């Protein structure tokens, strides 16, 4: 399992980097093209920001449903969610009682891992802040296959395939989701429209 950590952290860095790109969008150009479901989608022209790397960016204005997309084809291609799955994993953990709240602590197993910040006890709050994979793997085992499969299906998360192992299906394994689907999921989360209690979504 530890073999995925370096790759996962690189993908977290890439994900954070893409989020930071939104800061400079005011200085980019875009054009209108027909989008999915008959809506207009603004095509972002920010190739220079990706410096030759194959990537995508999807932004959505929830006030007017306007979508902004760079590399539409890539945005619809599914990839393993890696650390972005911490969001649904946290929600499922709270809903099933695998953790009581963001303050409940899981004890470190004593295994020395690549990042010093991982090598200690963690709560849900600190684990998501430090991207401590072991915490989420342990919580997924506590959630169990039946509950995990139930909620992944209920929220319609990507291809819904958790067959890659209860503690690694989201880590370069069987679960895959596109950037467009991630935006839809986050929109439902922001609007508290997921099949979880209001308390847990807040």
Point out the residues that are catalytic: 83
Beta bridge partners of 44: 30
Q: Which 8-state DSSP code applies to residue 84?
A: G
Question: For the residues of 1-20, what is the DSSP string, one character each?
Answer: -GGGHHHHHHHHHHHHHHHH
Do 166 and 2 form a contact (C-beta atoms < 8 A)? no
Among 181, 200, 191, which Cα is nearest to 67's?
Answer: 181
Helix-strand-coil percent breakdown of the chain, rounded to 5?
50, 15, 35
Report residue 158 CA to chain centroid gap: 11
């Amino acid at each position: 399992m530890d073999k995925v950590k370096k790759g996962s952290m690189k993908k977290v860095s890439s994900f954070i980097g893409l989020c930071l790109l939104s800061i400079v969008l005011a200085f980019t150009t875009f054009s209108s093209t027909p989008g999915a479901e008959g809506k207009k989608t603004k095509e972002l022209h920010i190739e220079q920001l990706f410096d030759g790397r194959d990537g995508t960016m999807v932004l959505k204005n929830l006030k007017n449903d306007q979508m902004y997309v760079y590399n539409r084809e890539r945005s619809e291609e599914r990839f393993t969610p890696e650390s972005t799955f911490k969001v649904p994993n946290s929600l499922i953990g709270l809903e099933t009682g695998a953790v009581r709240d963001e303050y409940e602590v899981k004890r470190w197993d004593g295994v020395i891992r690549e990042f010093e910040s991982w090598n200690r006890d963690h709560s849900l709050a600190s684990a998501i802040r430090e991207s401590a994979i072991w915490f989420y793997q342990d919580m997924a085992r506590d959630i169990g296959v039946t509950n995990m499969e139930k909620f992944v299906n209920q929220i319609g998360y990507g291809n819904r395939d958790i067959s890659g192992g209860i503690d690694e299906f989201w880590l370069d394994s069987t679960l895959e989701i596109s950037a467009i689907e991630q935006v839809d999921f986050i929109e439902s989360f922001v609007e508290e429209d997921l099949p979880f209690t209001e308390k847990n979504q807040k």
